[in-house]
Structure 1
């Protein structure tokens, strides 16, 4: 009851904020981009709230507790990825688009085909990311309430999905952003308290903590190879994972959309700098929390708990502070899941409504901006229902691993197209379609036929065995092939439409000239 009470308080407070924010959500700009009204620091905190998902808190802590050094590699990959986003994407994207990735691509390409492709890619990436968050929700409630049967956990996942839909329908991007800011503050504060607590028990001596973790789980947790060093294939899997994590962030649609909630490109840059500091700090905390859970709770206890490896951080909280700290940390983890799924849902629904409905189906002749927003809200409900069903299927999987699949799809389908569009004059519509559709198809096929989906007890469908592709993460193969497809598609096409507006796009992306007028329009 204590755990549920703390969570209910959080939901009540955020609902009040979302309803208040809804009073200022009147136009499409308000619904999609919060009226471009947030400052760089505010948006940076919201980005960290959007990015520090269940994978960061539950998945990485569990991966470190069980696999030690190899688990911490997730943290490194997730953090380094922000340098790619800062240097190559953030400011340029803010200067050339309004709401979605489709805006950027259609600036110099044929509008209808590239908007359709960009929207489809956004929906697929969002779906994979939502799978991870829903799986985290199921595992967390399983631990909190002792619900061990899949049916009870499925009901919990449905409740999380319903709350997510409500946040998006009522508050739009403005309400979602405030939820993410509150959640980021709570998450970082909660992780900080637990980190200080754990270190305090070892005299603030990190070596003593690591030594105890090694005594409990063996020296393997301090050395590379516990997960990715058992065979040559697993070593390749690690390289594949690293490439997907580092390149995936710059192609994540819900992260890209956050750059449009600030008024200028300078504020977009400040957003990313704030996000890097906050995210980096949090990942240092996860190192202590993961090894602390491994030392105090033990890897075997964590793996046997309801929720599996995702239970490491809540179990550590219970060990340190009993039901009260467990209730607070679990409420924060739930807040994490709610905020991230709300951000993902509004991004996916905005992409469909703005790119497909308004600019492809209606050819830019929408009856009213309210009608476009209405379509976005209907789409949000559909996405919510689909993500609930997918989350029930993915329940029990390591959420950090599931998010890594989303990163692989984003890095394969979105990043090559964005970079080619921003930096290659010859790039054209055919190249964009080759890289998006080709990247999506290759990545999804490789995931379906990978050990992640079938062929083992840890797979998503353990009774199936269609795993003919040896790597769990397809990034090593799918990302280079997607870049290659974009190049081939451009070279075999005589279409020069991409080059005619490249000079204008280059000036705007690098200087911001004309960008503010386009945003206001």
Structure 2
């Protein structure tokens, strides 16, 4: 039954892709879905893009294993939307066209800024893709009882091929409708499972929490801080670093920023963000119940036995609560979740390569601009290449919790993309050097610190557990790399030989606040 539902999800999403592909002709259709989606539709699509495998599988697994400390992930993911609503959504829709680099290059020299923003966006998307692919491997292995690493690897390859097909054939229109369908399925499935858990414990949250603490095997420590992050200074700094990355990172995620270009006006972009806050908030409240329910019904030892990182907690809970039927439905919903998010990420990264790097940054001054048709062809080729890279990298990251991987993606976005975006929108002295220094000054330290962190080596759950070059003690580098991005952006601006063009900033300010001249 579960395998049949998987096939049904694939067939439905492929049907949507073929239908949308026939209606996508211009570059605006491929990159922005023709800007024809309503705020409600886009709100559901944003939520579908944001509520990824890291949320449904990873965060729920962390709550099931670590209780209070896992709950902290949900707070960071949700609070981040206030930053998006207040500082990003409306202004980005007015200033940009398809990508983050469009906003930055509006008053900067195009080639260096687009090169930096394009590279950063691709790196963020790849880290995010790793989290989704790892979740896909865990889910398919559990569903089909694949115990060999080779079988799991082939399931990841299959997911990668599907995501490339979605992007190359359907573009943003197909991706958006897949995300809308996925959001409805995810909220419906999560609500059903949440109701069943609450009914089992007679609606008594106190009983649920006590049962979860008992089932976790950790006792009262399960409901107190420190089980996952610990009590030492290093552990506390790691938590602060993660929180900083989660709260600030959403405003710099390229696949989320791209969603604001799919609506016709800035007002619609703002209303989309409001819808997303309501939908995402409801979802994360339910993940708390699911995480506690998994600990209470399944138990910590059984959860770790199935997957040490807790990525299979939700399917196991569904199997225990409703048997084969509910297990199949939940697995199919999780599968749809992964398919929709990887499609959005692949589209955002391929758009950054084609629209920013190939069409503009890599071209010499005076060289003719490529046509939109050529640009879309290159974007489709880039989607294939990026999908292949994501598949290869994800094969080495199977032991990591998907929420940890996505946390790193948020750290890169918060360190590189957000400082440049905020300085560009709100600081009239900001220069081209400041923009490139902000991006590279956040991106390079972030990646360097990840390489020498416990995520890569030095622990049983690391990518290379037998190696020991974990000289940086924190799993998330945001505490160091986010200030670096803002610092280098400021330093690059104050050391610039020339001054920012006041007329260019005045034009950007008028456009950002009024929408005059917006695409």
Q: TM-score range by the shorter chain?
A: over 0.9
Shift of 1:306: 4.2
1:163-219 CA-to-partner distances (Å, cap 9, x unmatched) read 000011111000000000000000010000000000001111111111111222211
Task: Give the corresponding residue for 2:23.
Answer: 24
Match of 2:426 in 1: 423
5 Å-filtered alignment, 1:159-308, equals 159-217=158-216, 218-306=219-307, 308=309
Match of 2:98 in 1: 99
Farther-moved stretch of structure 1 (494-503 vs 77-86): 494-503
TM-score w.r.t. structure 2 length? 0.98
Task: Please give the alpha-carbon distance, in whole angstroms, between the structure 2 residues aligned to 1:367 and 1:243.
Answer: 40
Match of 1:7 in 2: 6
1:32-111 correspondence to structure 2 within 5 Å: 32-111=31-110
2:445 to 442, 446, 458: 442
Q: CA deviation at 1:396?
A: 2.4
Residue 307 of structure 1 and its aligned partner are, at CA, apart by 6.6
Is the contact made by 1:110 and 1:497 (CA closer than 8 Å) also made in structure 2? Answer: no
Check the 8 A contact 2:215/2:298 in 1, yes or no.
no
Gap regions ≥5 residues in structure 1: none
Do 2:428 and 2:500's aligned partners in 1 also have CA atoms closer than 8 Å? no
Q: The residue matched to 2:229 in structure 1 has which SS?
A: coil
Report the count of equivalent residues: 515
Per-residue Cα deviation, 1:325-383 (whole angstroms, up to 9, x for no partner): 11111111111111000000000001111111222334684443111100000000000
Is 2:362 the partner of 1:361? yes
Question: Gaps spanning 5+ residues in structure 2: where?
Answer: none
CA root-mean-square deviation = 1.1
Going from structure 1 to structure 2, the CA distance change for 1:463 and 1:499 (only over 3 Å counts) comes to farther
**What is the DSSP-based 3-state SS (H/G/I as helix, E as strand, rest coil) of the residue aligned with 1:112?**
helix
Match of 1:118 in 2: 117
1:389 corresponds to which of 380, 389, 392: 392
Quote the residue 1:139 is aligned against. 138
Secondary structure of 1:309's counterpart equals coil
Partner residue in 2 for 1:376: 379
Say if 1:3 and 1:331, in contact at 8 Å, map to a contact too: yes
Q: SS of 1:26's equivalent?
A: coil
Contact 1:429 1:495 in 2 (8 A): no
CA offsets 1:3-25 (integer angstroms, 9 cap, x no match): 11001001111111111111110
Q: Is the 8 A contact 2:359 2:370 kept in 1?
A: no
For 2:510 and 2:372, locate their aligned partners in 1 and report how far apart those are by CA, in whole Å.
29
User: Matched residues in 2 for 1:240 and 1:124: separation?
Assistant: 19
Which TM-score applies when normalising by structure 1? 0.97
Counterpart-to-counterpart distance in 2, 1:499 and 1:41: 37
How much does 1:498 deviate? Answer: 4.8
Deviation of the 1:147 alpha carbon: 1.3
| Residue 308 of structure 1, CA deviation | 4.0
